[in-house]
Structure 1
Amino acid sequence: MIVNKQMITIKGTREGLTLYIDDSCSFSEVLKELDQVLSTKYTDKDEPMITVTIQLGNRYLHKEQEEALREVIRRKNKLVVQSIDSNVITKKQALQWRDDSEIKAITKIVRSGQVVEIVGDLLLIGDVNPGGKIVASGNIFVLGSLRGVAHAGANGNTDAVIAASYMEPSQLRIADYISRSPDYESEGVYMECGLIDKEKSKIIIDRLQVLSQKRPDLNGFERRILNG
């Protein structure tokens, strides 16, 4: 006996509905079954608006297919698509993710007037002199003295951190948060880091050891750098 595989699974949540779509069947079959399933449910016009999240699994949809999927759901007066999520990303997105998550190691002294700017995490093996500036979309690690300007999380990442062997910066910036002297000891500090304290809504300076608790998402390579 042949048993038809269920292509659409619907689960209710506090936020609305989640549709799990089988990723092994054809897209045309998905549209047909989705229309049939929704036609037997959620037809009462007196029901409140329900948001729908669609989980595609290992299926990638082109924009035209996404719009066709949204259109089937839009026909039901009380359903609105909130998001369409997939485990599959494009090559462009994968390359962007790699760039954003890579650690770029640079060996140099950043002198006054010089700017080093990279995408991803920056590991600078050298000093940042007064008047020098380093910028990264991710975290910044300086194996040397930081006496200039450091800007981590430049694209808005408030979880980014700045760590240095010797911390005496003229300015620290993480995302849109800025901290200047005299927030630091006049003679600087060794093996410290700057990070955003979201409760206090400002950048704080703390020991490197706190990162394992306050930023547990730092990967293994970064932890080895911090712990020696």
Structure 2
Amino acid sequence: MKKTQNVTIKGTKDGLTLHLDDLCSFEELKNELTKKLSANSRDQEDRLISVRVKVGNRYLSTKQEEELKSLIRQKKNLVVEEVESNVITKKDADRLKLESEISTIAKVIRSGQVLEVPGDLLLIGDVNPGGTVKAGGNIFVMGALRGIAHAGVSGNDQVIIAASVMKPSQLRISDCINRAPDQAAEDESRSMECAYISEDQQIVVDRLQVLMRLRPNLTRFEGGS
């Protein structure tokens, strides 16, 4: 009977992908991985090769993940870009659940106050100068935004910031920052506006209507959360 391979190495245009069996023991996996990497050694190459590791339904502890990375890094030209697993911990699952929820809060955020939520924020009230609102997801202010708003604090750059009156002292989406102009027009009769990261990685403020085209998946408020 033909023995099943625990490690399969596939070349891609971006580098190498390692498919690791999720049923064998971890020790068996490490031993075969060491042999396969030695057999496919490219030590003579000068260029760095990107490696993605896929472990299927195997849960890896932090220690085990570091062991696999260390084995791969022993080949000087291999760089581990990512270790993908279909399994997450309960802690990670709880975090993802929180990040997908919408927090609805009715209050005024005054100077010196900071309001932060893990998911989307729907604030019914103003953010005064000196006040700050932060969210892991989108920020919707049903009032005047005159302070600081930071959406996508965990690194999501597809989120948006929207406000009935968009007069912030600073906007931040993920790691991108946009400071308010020195002299902003005081026309508060304008319709609700939104801020998003454009294709050239700049924060752009535009009419709310553009979101239907730019962020077609932004429909979580429809029919409730």
Q: Does 1:153 align with 2:154?
A: no
User: Post-superposition shift, 1:151?
Assistant: 0.2
User: Post-superposition shift, 1:103?
Assistant: 1.2
Where do residues 61-80 of structure 1 align in structure 2 (5 Å cutoff)?
61-80=60-79
Q: What is aligned with 2:140?
A: 141
User: Post-superposition shift, 1:66?
Assistant: 2.3
- Structure 2 Cα separation of the partners of residues 46 and 116 of structure 1: 55
Q: Does 1:37 align with 2:36?
A: yes
Q: What is aligned with 1:213?
A: 213
| Alignment gaps of 5+ in structure 1 | none
Counterpart AA for 1:33:
E
Where do residues 1-228 of structure 1 align in structure 2 (5 Å cutoff)?
2-42=1-41, 45-48=43-46, 49-108=48-107, 110=108, 112-113=110-111, 115-119=113-117, 120-125=119-124, 127-128=125-126, 130-131=128-129, 133-137=131-135, 138-143=137-142, 145-153=143-151, 155=153, 157-164=156-163, 166-175=164-173, 176-180=177-181, 182-184=183-185, 186-199=187-200, 201-206=202-207, 208-218=208-218, 220-222=219-221
CA contact (8 A) 1:157 1:174 kept: no
CA contact (8 A) 2:151 2:172 kept: yes
User: Post-superposition shift, 1:189?
Assistant: 1.4
State the TM-score, normalizing by the size of structure 1: 0.77
CA deviation string 1:99-158 (max 9, x = no partner):
3332111123x1644735122211123x31654735122311133x32532503262554
User: Post-superposition shift, 1:168?
Assistant: 4.7
CA contact (8 A) 1:170 1:181 kept: no
| Alignment gaps of 5+ in structure 2 | none
SS at structure 1 position matched to 2:32: helix
**Pair 1:154–1:68, CA change in 2 (3 A):** closer
User: RMSD of aligned C-alpha atoms?
Assistant: 3.0
SS at structure 1 position matched to 2:24: coil
**Pair 1:97–1:183, CA change in 2 (3 A):** farther
**Pair 1:23–1:93, CA change in 2 (3 A):** same
CA contact (8 A) 1:54 1:85 kept: yes
CA contact (8 A) 2:129 2:169 kept: no
SS at structure 2 position matched to 1:190: coil
Runs of 4+ in 1 over 6 A off after TM superposition: none
**Pair 1:215–1:181, CA change in 2 (3 A):** farther
- Structure 2 Cα separation of the partners of residues 78 and 159 of structure 1: 33
SS at structure 1 position matched to 2:65: helix
CA contact (8 A) 1:168 1:189 kept: no
**Pair 1:154–1:51, CA change in 2 (3 A):** closer
State the TM-score, normalizing by the size of structure 2: 0.78
**Pair 1:41–1:80, CA change in 2 (3 A):** same
User: Post-superposition shift, 1:57?
Assistant: 1.5
User: Post-superposition shift, 1:87?
Assistant: 2.2
- Structure 1 Cα separation of the partners of residues 145 and 51 of structure 2: 51
Which is higher, the Rg of structure 1 or of structure 2?
Answer: 1
Counterpart AA for 1:194:
A
Counterpart AA for 1:197:
S
Number of positions where the alignment pairs a residue of Structure 1 with one of Structure 2? 217
User: Post-superposition shift, 1:52?
Assistant: 2.0
% identical equivalent positions: 39
